[in-house]
Structure formats: structure tokens, C-alpha cells
């Protein structure tokens, strides 16, 4: 049985983790599937339950910002940058990939690399849980691998009821997509490995002299070991085909195809009204922030409807503030129409 824990029963959840069991926990991004990061057998359960590829590294979650220095290889230049970034963005949706010595964490955490992603999540109950355990936790999204990530307790129960020890209850995730992953192993040229809520513009605003670029995933070969989750494998996909359509083509696409397919459409109200009857709808506000917040919930909503043949989702232009939303949606989509 999968038990529901609350802020009042965090110590019980911590005991289960210390005994090698799995507990899902809330964060501001999505819910994570927690295991003690130093427990290789417990981490192996995470891969087994999720059906996750074995070379896909995990992000390690800490209970206070300064704990990152327990794991990073000492380096004056790197430490200065890590402190600036943590002061600006932690607790929050930024993961820093840091260099570590071999054996700091099991190989199934690091993907066999001498680096690891570290994050200090912005959820007080989860921070308290990590501190109660006394050790950091891995926390990949608490969903079946490849499927849309969970942003509510119900989403986690849907995928893992009876398969994990428990879930730490919380309100739905505030942001709705996974953290930005920033590779700081070379402090002179940091790289965004996975876009998220924290954008390149925000990083440069906080640290004006920061040299930062975004990695192109098309450069990653099939034999390469990814430094971050979200770089190599298809993610976030429901059963049905997902078609991402630009705003200026969205209504025409739906009107053309709704007679031949049962469509589920995720879009703002004015678009849905123009499409008329004969579609299933998931309404969002006309902003990329709301679309990002609701993307996984909308995909899961349609995924549970057997009658839906195809999911159509609005995709916003490729500008800086839209990159995280576009990244997740295009990974889920079989076709992008712009």
C-alpha cells in the first residue's frame, strides 16, 4: 500500500527512506521520486519502478544550500560561482552540475560520470524531509519513464499506487516543468543542459559577467552519456500522438481535422470557442507561463480518455522566455506545425 504522509508525519516518511524505500515528494517544479542518494540498492529501485534507462543520471536534492560543498571538488573559482548562483536562485528551480570525485555517489546516480546535478528545492516540507533523513535524496520525476511528469499527488498515485512506500502530500507544483540544469564544471563557460524556468537572461541578469550558452541536443550522439536528465531520451509523452501548433494555425488545423479524428485540444478560451463543438478541450490562459504550468496536467487529462485519438497543443514562438515550455512540448510531440 502507498501511504500518504503530511508535514506532521515527515519523520515517518524519513524512516521509510532510511530503510531503503521510495517516497515521492513535492517540489515547486514537479513531484520527485525520492530515495537516499548514497543507497545504491534504493536508487536501483527508482530505475526499476520508473522503467528508466540506466545511463540517465539523477539529480540529487539537498536540504540546505551549503550542503553542495560537501560534494563538490574544492576549487576556488568554482566555489565562487556556485555561491553566486545559489544566493541568486536557491531554493528554486536551478540544478547545478558540479565535478565530484569518483565514489561520492553510486554510479547509478551519476550515470558513471565524475559529475552530478545538485538542487535545493523550494518546498519547505521537502526540505524538512531531506534534513530529517540526514542525507541527500535523488528525485527524478515521480512518473513512469517517458510519460508526462506529475504535478499533483493524484498524478503520482495514478502511476505508482502500490509500487512505492508513500507520497509526501502538498499542493500542486507551482511551476509545472522540471528545473533548469546548468553545467558549472567549467566556471569559465557554463552551459544550460536542460532549459527550465530559470532562463539564460535571468542568469546573466544575476551575474552580468557570466559566460553561458545552451547545449544543442542534436549534438548528443546515441552512444554519449548525458550529463543531465532530459537530454537523450523521449519524455513527457501520453499514449496519443501530440501535435504542437502555432497560434496562427491552430484553429484551422483543428477545424480541418476534427471531422476525421477525436481531438483533445489544449489552448486558451478564445481559440477553443472559435473551434466550435466536436472536440474535447483543456482550457489554459493565453500565456506561456500558464501553458507551462498546465502542460503535464493537460497531457495527463487527455491520456486518460480512451476516445481521444490525437492531442493538439498550442506552441508559443521560439523566444527566450518560452524555451522550457517549447522544450517539453516538442519532446512530447510527434509533429510541430509553425
- 119 annotated ligand binder: yes
Banded model confidence at residue 55, pLDDT cuts 50, 70, 90: confident
pLDDT at 235: 66
Domains defined along the chain, listed by start: 3-219 (3.90.870.10), 241-337 (3.40.50.11030)
HSE (side-chain half, CA atoms, 13 Å) at 229 = 30
Residue 328 annotated as lining a ligand binding site: no
Q: Is 141 one of the annotated binding-site residues?
A: yes
pTM above 0.85, yes or no: yes
Query: Rg for the chain (alpha carbons), in Å?
Result: 20
Q: What is the pLDDT of residue 89?
A: 99
Q: In the chain, what is the straight-line distance between the N-terminal and C-terminal CA atoms, in Å?
A: 46
User: How many Å apart are CA 313 and CA 130, to the nearest integer?
Assistant: 36
- Is a pLDDT exceeding 80 seen at residue 322? yes
Judge whether residue 319 has pLDDT over 90.
no
92/124 Cα distance (integer angstroms): 11
Q: Say yes or no to pLDDT of 218 above 60.
A: no
Q: What are phi and psi of 307, to 5 degrees?
A: -75, -20
Q: What is the pLDDT of residue 230?
A: 59
Q: Does the annotation flag 179 for ligand binding?
A: yes
Mean of pLDDT over the chain = 94
- Is 253 a known ligand-binding residue? no
Cell of 236: 513527457
pLDDT band at 56 (very low <50, low <70, confident <90, very high): confident
Q: Does residue 227 register a pLDDT over 80? A: no
Q: What is the DSSP string of 77-97?
A: HHHHHHHHHHHHH-SSSEEEE
Question: Does 16 appear as a known binding residue?
Answer: no
Percent of the chain past pLDDT 70, that is, above it, reads 95
What's residue 223's pLDDT?
46
Question: What integer pLDDT is reported at residue 224 of this predicted model?
Answer: 60
Mean per-residue pLDDT for 187-212? 96
27/170 Cα distance (integer angstroms): 9
B/e letters for 25-37, b = 16+ CB within 10 Å, e = fewer, are bbbbbbbbbbbbb
Q: Read off the pLDDT band of 259 (50, 70, 90).
A: very high
Q: Give the pLDDT band (50/70/90) at residue 329.
A: very high
Asked whether residue 226 carries a pLDDT value surpassing 80, the answer given is no
| Position 82 pLDDT exceeds 50 | yes
pLDDT tens per residue, range 139-155: 999 999 989 999 999 99
pLDDT, one tens digit per residue, over 22-36 is: 999 999 999 999 999
Read out DSSP for 160-217? Answer: HTTTSSEEE--SPPSS-SPPEEEE-SSTTSEEEEE--SS-HHHHHHHSTT--EEE--G
Checking if the pLDDT of 135 tops 50, the result is yes
Give the ranges where the chain is alpha helix by DSSP (H).
Answer: 10-18, 40-50, 76-89, 107-110, 124-133, 153-160, 200-206, 247-257, 269-275, 288-303, 323-332
Query: Is the pLDDT confidence value at 225 over 90?
Result: no
Q: How many other CB atoms sit within 10 Å of the CB of residue 77?
A: 10
pLDDT score of 75: 87
Q: Is 56 annotated as a binding residue?
A: yes
Higher per-residue pLDDT: 78 or 135: 135
For residue 231, is pLDDT > 60? no
Taking CA 137 as the corner, what is the angle to CA 135 and CA 140, rounded to the nearest 5 degrees? 175
194 appears as a binding residue in the annotation: yes
pLDDT at position 1: 93
**294 known member of a binding site:** no
Q: Which of these, 49, 227, 258, lies nearest to 147 by C-alpha position?
A: 49
Residue 52 annotated as lining a ligand binding site: yes
What's the pLDDT at 13? Answer: 99
Amino acid at each position: 500500500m502507498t501511504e500518504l504522509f503530511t508535514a506532521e508525519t515527515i519523520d515517518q516518511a524519513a524512516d521509510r527512506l532510511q530503510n531503503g524505500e521510495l517516497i515521492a515528494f513535492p517540489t515547486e517544479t514537479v513531484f520527485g521520486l525520492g530515495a537516499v542518494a548514497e543507497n545504491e540498492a534504493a536508487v536501483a529501485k527508482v530505475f526499476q519502478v520508473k522503467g528508466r534507462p540506466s545511463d540517465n543520471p539523477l539529480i540529487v536534492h539537498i536540504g540546505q544550500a551549503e550542503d553542495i560543498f560537501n560534494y563538490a571538488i574544492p576549487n576556488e573559482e568554482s566555489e565562487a560561482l556556485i555561491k553566486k548562483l545559489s544566493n541568486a536562485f536557491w531554493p528554486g528551480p536551478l540544478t547545478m552540475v558540479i565535478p565530484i570525485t569518483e565514489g561520492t555517489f553510486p554510479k547509478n546516480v551519476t550515470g558513471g560520470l565524475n559529475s552530478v546535478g545538485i538542487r535545493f528545492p523550494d518546498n519547505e516540507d521537502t526540505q524538512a524531509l531531506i534534513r530529517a533523513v540526514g542525507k541527500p535524496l535523488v528525485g527524478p520525476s515521480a512518473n513512469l519513464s517517458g510519460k508526462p511528469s506529475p504535478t499533483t499527488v493524484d498524478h503520482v498515485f495514478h502511476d505508482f499506487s502500490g509500487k512505492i512506500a508513500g507520497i509526501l502530500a502538498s499542493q500542486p507544483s507551482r511551476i509545472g516543468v522540471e528545473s533548469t540544469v546548468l553545467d558549472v564544471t567549467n566556471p569559465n563557460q557554463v552551459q544550460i543542459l536542460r532549459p527550465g524556468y530559470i532562463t539564460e537572461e535571468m542568469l546573466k541578469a544575476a551575474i552580468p559577467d557570466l559566460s553561458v550558452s545552451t547545449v544543442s541536443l542534436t549534438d548528443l550522439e546515441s552512444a554519449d552519456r548525458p550529463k543531465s536528465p532530459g537530454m537523450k531520451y523521449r519524455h513527457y509523452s501520453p499514449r496519443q500522438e501530440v501535435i504542437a501548433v502555432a497560434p496562427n494555425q491552430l484553429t484551422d488545423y483543428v477545424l480541418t481535422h476534427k471531422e476525421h479524428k477525436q481531438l483533445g485540444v489544449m489552448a486558451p478560451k478564445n481559440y477553443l470557442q472559435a473551434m466550435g463543438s466536436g472536440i474535447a478541450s483543456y482550457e489554459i490562459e493565453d500565456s506561456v507561463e500558464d501553458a507551462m504550468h498546465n502542460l503535464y496536467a493537460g497531457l495527463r487529462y487527455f491520456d486518460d480518455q480512451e476516445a481521444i485519438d490525437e492531442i493538439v497543443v498550442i506552441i508559443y514562438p521560439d523566444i527566450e522566455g518560452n524555451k522550457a515550455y517549447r522544450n517539453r512540448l516538442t519532446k512530447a510531440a510527434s509533429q510541430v506545425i509553425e
